[in-house]
Structure 1
Amino acid sequence: MAKEYAEDPRMHVVAVSSVTIGLTITLEALGITGEVLVPSFTFCASANAIVQAGATSVFVDSCPETYNISVSDLEKKITKQTEAILAVHVFGVPADCLALEKIAKGNNIKLIFDAAHGMGSTLNNVKMGRFGDAEVFSTTPTKTLVTGEGGLVFTRDAALAQRLRIYREYGNPGDCTYIGTNGRLNEISCLMGIASFDLLPEHLRLRQAAAKAYAEKLTSIPGIHLQQIPALLNKS
């Protein structure tokens, strides 16, 4: 599985002004107007993007151990009106990407990940960004890769990437064919992001060290339960 994803040369990255804009225009570019399954435990921007795109949010239970979307409850919520799944990598712990891809393919629906916290996270040694139809990352100041404000949409779909570039530019490929928005990432933010790439490994190391320290101090306190990181997941 790692080889299948890691060596895929078709990755496209589209820079946008925020992860919310990225999620919204991804849904629009995919033509999603029906029901979108989204976890009940997430930041409001996940559901906001669905509504802004003209679709309908259908909330799915989240796992109390990992805080991520429950695959079993998700399967129960799929109907003829379901057009997409918008899963979330909560606090950097990836959702069950492989199970979700199988469900999406089996039901002929789209799969998008709100990967706001996911930069640098891995699943079976494959970095986030290579799963589903698209993964949308945040690059705000609290994230591991920083552009000041902004987001990045990762996709293996060249046609989708091209539509996203048009949608972020007012929907104007030269003749105003589409209805879009001003969702570009400005040049100063891009420069900051380029510099931040060199700092990413150190940012990840520091966060892992902080998480380990908190876990060591808190796990012995009665009544406190920490987010579980399943064995198949790891942080690079």
Structure 2
Amino acid sequence: SITAIGMRPIADCINIFHTLQTPLHLDFLELAIGSPCPTDYPYPNVPLLLHDNCLYHQRYRLRLNPLCPKTWQPYAQFIATHNVCALSLHPPRRPDCTRQELESTIAQLQQTLQVPVFLEVMPFPEHWCSSPESLVDCPLLLDVSHVLIWHRGDWAQTEQTCETLLQSGQVGAIHLSHNRGKADSHDLIPADVWFSDRLDQWRNNYLVTYESLPRQYGQYQRRDRLRCVERNRLRCVERDRLHCVERNRASHVTPTRRINAEF
């Protein structure tokens, strides 16, 4: 996903995608929030997945509101001229529509776009699809890190909930990411994460997207995260330097000075 490698010019993102395509077994590219994705850019000859309000026209974001049909047309036009395999959306807030209205709208949107449309499982309760009770009868995008927030970082409960959702037959796509159970921080994915042994099976049955990268490819993560990592590294270097200075000062205090200090 562009979310994982963004905050760069789109051309740089595409170069990173090509670099990671073989080691991560990438079959498609998800255009998503992170870097502007122009409608007129020459994207690589791979299937594209559109996520939420990802497209830009002349530097203006083309917002896609499922409750506002006039916003659908630019996405329909892009899909008609590109190799798009699916579109995924953040569901609206629960006060904005009823469950039945949302289900009917998604069916109409899918008919208009002529590609599968998935509603993303959300992390916080103001949206539809933010808990088992608020799920709707639509194809779903399962974001494993959002479910991790439901369970406040508990891997075992997250695994159980994700397996239940997958067995429901509603899930058609999966987002891979990581966090500490509090915020959707898109942290690098540790090698021992609970879903590591399920990836091959998932790839055969779902559209699986990296929304953040495995740790071993951290040098390619989105640029703002790299800046944050560098700032933290410099803080650690400065802290270690100050500790070293303090130790050196203490080691050069003479016995006479220590005695005088006691008096």
Larger relative strand fraction: 1
> Rg: which structure is higher?
2
Q: TM-score band (shorter)? A: 0.3 to 0.5
Higher normalized helix content (fraction of residues)? 2
Higher RCO structure (Cα 8 Å, ≥6 apart): 1
TM-score scaled by length of structure 1: 0.33
